[in-house]
């Protein structure tokens, strides 16, 4: 007859290891062992005020012209330019940056028209598309109810903002967006999803949310493999204005 002998030693061993770790005399440990001196961070001078571009930012729009932009078909921008802001000219189409980007920090200020009395999705609608396909919604969401994942600062049709930090229409609002581009395997499968953090008027409203794919109006989001692409501003038929746009590559 065979007799099975079972020895339970793992928990005891773990307790001994834990107890031993707690008894380490750290007074004899050299703190230099955990100090990094290589790869000194580059010096970047921050803007003097909140929203002002830091020294390493690429200025995409300073109110003086459209040198960093073209229409979606590559032609000249036909939006209005007045008092340091660009304003959608309905029917003239989306505009996009001439340069292409991957992961970025983006600052952009926007304003919905004060004389627009429409409600819901017609209340001063536009959008900011990262890599031409992932949309952060622009909309008058001050006392203007619509579906939550379609209001201002939503990742359109995916994530509602955690809170509604909207100012009244006609007032300038700020987005600070940190976007991490997706990566893809050689076979086209998603390796890591895109991520978005959005700070709306100084309030975190999206916190490193993982996107399920490109923005779509009907159906569910999905990914198609792609590389760097432009930042796009939407012409949704409303007189939405933008100013002080800058970007940092990450």
Host H or E run for residue 4: none
pTM score above 0.75: yes
String of b and e for 130-148 (b: at least 16 CB within 10 Å)?
bbbbbbbbbbbbbebebee
HSE value, Cβ hemisphere, 13 Å, CA-based, for 221:
17
> Would you give per-residue pLDDT tens digits along the chain (250 residues)?
555 555 444 444 444 445 455 677 787 889 899 899 998 999 999 999 999 999 999 999 999 999 999 998 899 999 999 999 999 999 999 999 999 999 999 999 999 999 888 899 988 999 999 999 999 999 999 999 999 999 999 999 999 999 999 999 999 999 999 999 999 999 999 999 999 999 999 999 999 999 999 999 999 999 999 999 999 999 999 999 999 999 999 9
Q: How many CB atoms lie within 10 A of CB 235?
A: 22
- Cα-Cα-Cα-Cα torsion 191, 192, 193, 196, nearest 10 degrees, comes to -160
The predicted pLDDT at position 13 comes to: 43
Our measurement of the distance from residue 2's CA atom to the centroid of its chain's CA atoms, rounded to an integer in Å, reads 65
Nearest to 213 by CA among 230, 229, 193, 231: 193
DSSP-based three-state secondary structure for 198: strand
Secondary structure of residue 81 in the 3-state scheme:
strand
Q: Check residue 19 and report its DSSP letter.
A: H
With contact defined as beta carbons under 8 Å apart, do 69 and 99 qualify?
Answer: no
Tell the residue number behind the tokens 């581009």, with chain if given: 181
Bridge partners (DSSP) of residue 137 are 127
Domains in the chain: ranges and CATH: 58-249 (2.60.120.560)
């Amino acid at each position: 007859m065979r007799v099975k002998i079972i020895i339970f030693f793992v928990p005891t061993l773990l307790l001994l290891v834990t107890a031993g770790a707690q008894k380490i005399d750290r007074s004899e440990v050299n703190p230099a062992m955990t100090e990094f001196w290589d790869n000194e961070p580059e010096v970047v001078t921050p803007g003097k005020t909140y929203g002002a571009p830091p020294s390493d930012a690429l200025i995409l729009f300073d109110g003086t012209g459209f040198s960093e932009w073209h229409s979606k078909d590559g032609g000249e921008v036909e939006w209005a330019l007045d008092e340091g802001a660009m304003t959608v000219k309905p029917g003239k189409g989306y505009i996009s940056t001439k340069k292409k980007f991957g992961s970025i920090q983006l600052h952009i200020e926007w304003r919905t028209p004060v004389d627009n009395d429409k409600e819901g999705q017609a209340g001063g609608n536009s959008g900011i598309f990262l890599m031409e396909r992932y949309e952060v919604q622009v909309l008058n969401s001050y006392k203007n109810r619509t579906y939550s994942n379609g209001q201002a600062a939503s990742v359109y049709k995916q994530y509602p903002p955690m809170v509604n930090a909207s100012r009244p229409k006609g007032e300038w609002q700020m987005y600070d967006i940190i976007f991490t581009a997706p990566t893809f395997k050689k076979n086209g499968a998603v390796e890591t999803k895109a991520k978005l953090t959005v700070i709306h008027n100084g309030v975190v409203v999206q916190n490193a949310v993982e996107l399920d794919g490109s923005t779509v109006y009907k159906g569910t989001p999905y990914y198609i493999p792609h590389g760097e692409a432009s930042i796009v501003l939407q012409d949704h038929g409303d007189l939405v204005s933008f100013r002080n746009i800058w970007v940092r590559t990450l």
